[in-house]
Structure 1
């Protein structure tokens, strides 16, 4: 039987979520910003706070821009820029 890791300390069952969706999500995401929803003690999805979601989106964008910058640097077409002229 495979073990399903849970990547957050806050959890709720899918049954509890159906009974009180906003209460469960608000309470679960208030401390860490994340909550695992379980079905038969296995995580089926994660809820994240809007603030954490925005942070993750920014982090992904920064990572993608870093990859683009490294690719452009590797192609050897660098342009000298004076920051004082920007």
Structure 2
């Protein structure tokens, strides 16, 4: 049976147990797939990559909201009014 490997760097669980940080460093900031008996067991994702993934997901959700609201009612506002309202909310 074949499995997709969605990373450029792969390591075994044995390698990970032997040298966890070295295994992650081998990825040079990219995701590392950890294999168990030549099957992907999990992906080790560095913090910067994980944050980028979460931001992308957030952007996709916002884009979905924008598409859902297209053609809907619009409201005209003045930026100064919004700033004043926000400042009043902070003081309250």
**Range of TM-score over shorter length:** 0.7 to 0.9
1:80 to partner: Cα distance: 3.8
Q: Pick one of 16, 34, 40 that aligns with 1:37.
A: 34
Q: Which protein has the larger Cα radius of gyration, Structure 1 or Structure 2?
A: 2
The residue number in structure 1 matching 2:21 is 22
Normalised to the residue count of structure 1, the TM-score between the two structures is: 0.80
1:79 has 2:78 as partner: no
Unaligned runs of 5+ in 2: 80-92
Runs of 4+ in 1 over 6 A off after TM superposition: none
Q: Deviation string for 1:7-56 (max 9, x for gaps)?
A: 1120100011011111111222x15x111000011111111121111111
Question: In structure 1, the residue corresponding to 2:5 is in which secondary structure?
Answer: coil
Paired residues, number: 79
RMSD: 1.5
Specify every segment of 5 or more residues in structure 1 that has no aligned partner in the other structure, as ranges: none
- The TM-score with structure 2 as length reference comes to 0.76
